[in-house]
Structure 1
Amino acid sequence: MSYFVGIDAGGTHCRASLYDDKARLLGSGKAGPANVFNDFASAMQQIEHAISLAISDSKIHTDSSNIVVGAGCAGGQTALAKEQLLKWRHSFKQFYMISDLHASCFAANKGDPCIVIITGTGSSIAHYQASNVAQYGGHGFFHGDDASGAWLGLSAVKLLLKSYDHIVRDDEFCSVISKELELDYPPSEANKAKHIDAILTRFKLKRATDYAVLAPIIVDLYKSDNKTARTLLEKGRDYLISVLQANKLSSDKPIFITGGLASTYQPLLAQQLAQEINIMQGSAQEGAMLYARLQAD
């Protein structure tokens, strides 16, 4: 018997789900960050680890030669990742790689046309139709990912630093962010330089995931009606809407949203667009598995 594994590999974690040949879920596993564009070798190690954990969770006895893998990967649409995949030696029966957006599209509307918005550590929007995916955004932390968890975290750090120059005045917001960074707020004039140095040192050479840990805190501040947090999330909402409207994506197809910030952005988008925005129910792992089944048949 062949088994199928669906992978959701992103900037924060890698999830694997093991299915039988009837698409029944048997087991799941979770490993670390796996962006195939940023670090292909590390991403594949995490993918293999997540699959191993899923097999263990299922309690079945099989080896990788009986497993067909569908991997929905952040960065999986890039030429560099595809080139590295061709060179990668693996022991699986078959291994198919698509972008995490592509996998989410399969899961969102069971292969029918749709729009998918991803708002997790990174952000991107996909238009799925006739088995083709047009991607908007998703260019990575340094070159985009507006509205994402990493973008929120970076924005918060910038605002905190600006508060030291008396440009930003929101003691509640800055105090909560400072507490997460293990700093007092406001600092005395004598300690201000030490605080700035501590922040710059903490985030030196950090990745998107290191900034994204601040996103849940910003969401909590937004829920308590903090003005600065609300402004940030509305700015993220407006960016997502601008992409939808500039590319005429918000009218004739169902829109789904997924990712750690989905439940926060969903009502903001629905109200502004005056149309239904659906929280995606199917997982990206399921979508990647369905893609692999189609390719293997």
Structure 2
Amino acid sequence: MMAYYLGIDAGGSNCRARLAAEDGTVLGTGSGGSANTRIGFPELYATLSETAYQAIRQARLDDTQIAEVHAGIGVAGYGRQGASEALRAFDFPFASVAYETDAYIANLGANGRAEGAVLIIGTGSVAHVRKDGRSFTIGGYGFPISDEGSGAALGLSAVRHALRALDGRTKSTPLSSAVTARFDHDTASVVGWMDEATPRDYASFAPVVMDYAEADDAIARSIVEDAAQHIERFIETIFQRGANRCALVGGLSQRMRPWLRERTVSRLSDALGDPLDGAIDLAKRG
């Protein structure tokens, strides 16, 4: 029987799947919503299953072929206590399922089978390094205590500024007005939203922050410049820890890149592939 390889990238904002044949031909893809371990394991299983079966349905695999699928799944929050055991209890009808962090598969995708590092700047932020046979992360402890330089961090700073502007502690700017406009400029509405807000919700403000920073809004610029400093410190630490190359990836990475110093950008390498390439490589490794 022919083997099939399913790669899944389960991140804080979205979940993506890619199904490939043995020769690398892409047979199907899938996409879903938030898929980190913080949403709860029943919810995570549902998202992983639906995203995987979107790709499988596109490929028109029957039950016999599904049993020949080898899956590699990178999950945000995989390192949390008890997560590994809970994930391995998931009942998928595949030949094998290998789990790792989303940072690990991003590293595999960005650097191929060679050792190296990756810094992911998306909803959250985390660095992953493979060096001398070792694999470790830097940062990535979760929002709000970590995720420096990320979309969620940008959004949190923007909401803080907007609330201060509403009660008069700081001057209103176009950024603060754009943020509070989502809540009809009502403080109580912001606070009510905050009680239920997820990192993805905060990260939804990141494009607004970037837009106004690029338009020279003083507060937006200060928020983005602070984020850039955190990203540069990440990159410095990656090389101090022995990495020989580092790729900057993630949904916010390209917009943040112009805010980094030229000497920092010059140290970065282009990614050879994406996290789904890494997830498929993980599936092949078993």
Q: Structure 1 length normalisation: TM-score?
A: 0.88
Change (3 A) 1:7 1:249: farther
| Mapped contact 1:262–1:279 kept (Cα < 8 A) | no
Unaligned runs of 5+ in 1: 185-194
Quote the Cα distance in structure 2 between the aligned partners of 1:252 and 1:84.
32
Superposed, 1:202-281 pairs within 5 Å as: 202-246=193-237, 248-249=239-240, 253-271=244-262, 273=264, 275-278=266-269, 280=271
Aligned to 2:163: 161
Given that 1:15 and 1:30 are in contact with CA atoms closer than 8 Å, whether structure 2 keeps it comes out as: yes
Residue aligning to 1:12: 13
Aligned to 1:43: 44
SS at match of 2:155: helix
Q: Give the gaps of 5 or more residues in structure 2.
A: none
Amino acid paired to 1:67: V
Measured in 1, the distance between the counterparts of 2:138 and 2:83 equals 18
Residues 66-77 of structure 1: matches in 2 within 5 Å? Answer: 66-77=68-79
Number of corresponding residues: 284
Quote the sequence identity (%).
26
Distance, in Å, in 2 between the alignment partners of 1:163 and 1:281 is 44
Structure-2 separation of matches of 1:251 and 1:177: 41
Distance in 2, Cα, partners of 1:87 & 1:201: 36
Which region of structure 1 is more displaced relative to structure 2, 255-264 or 234-243?
234-243
| 1:38-187 map, 5 Å | 38-61=39-62, 63-179=65-181, 181-184=182-185
> Residue 260 of structure 1: CA displacement?
1.2
Q: For the Cα contact (< 8 Å) 1:116–1:256, is it kept in 2?
A: yes
Q: Distance in 1 between matches of 2:269 and 2:238?
A: 19
CA displacement 1:35-75 (0-9 Å, x = unmatched) = 12542221121111111111222344455312110001101
**Partners of 2:157 and 2:85 in 1: how far apart?**
34
Work out whether residues 183 and 189 of structure 2, in 8 Å CA contact, stay in contact via their aligned partners in 1: no
| 1:142, distance to aligned residue in structure 2 (A) | 2.8
Which residue of structure 2 aligns with residue 287 of structure 1?
A: 278
Letter in 2 for 1:159: H
1:252: how far off?
A: 5.9
- Specify the alignment match of 1:2 in structure 2: 3
For 1:252 and 1:283, how far apart are their aligned partners in 2?
19
In 2, Cα distance between the equivalents of 1:26 and 1:249? 41
SS of match in other structure, 1:98: strand
Shift of 1:145: 0.8
Per the alignment, in what secondary structure is the counterpart of residue 33 of structure 1? coil
What TM-score comes out, normalization by structure 2 length?
A: 0.91
What's the offset of the Cα at 1:85?
2.5
Q: For residues 198-241 of structure 1, what are the alpha-carbon distances to aligned partners after superposition, in whole Å with 9 as ceiling and x for unaligned?
A: 11012212211111111111111122222211211111111122
Tell me the C-alpha RMSD between the 2 structures. Answer: 2.1
**Residue 58 and residue 223 in structure 1: after superposition, are their counterparts in 2 closer, same or farther (change >3 A)?**
farther
SS where residue 104 of structure 2 aligns? Answer: helix
Residues 246, 283 of structure 1: alpha-carbon distance in 2 compared, 3 angstrom cutoff: closer
Greater shift, 243-252 or 11-20, is seen at 243-252
Contact 2:140/2:147 (<8 A) preserved:
yes
Do 2:130 and 2:243's aligned partners in 1 also have CA atoms closer than 8 Å? no
Task: Indicate conservation of the 8 Å contact 2:127/2:238, yes or no.
Answer: no
Cα distance in structure 2, aligned partners of 1:247 and 1:4 = 31
Kindly indicate whether the alpha-carbon contact (under 8 Å) linking 2:173 and 2:217 is maintained by their aligned counterparts in 1. Answer: no
TM-superposed CA distance for 1:246, in Å, is 4.3
Structure 1 residue 117, shift from structure 2 partner: 0.8
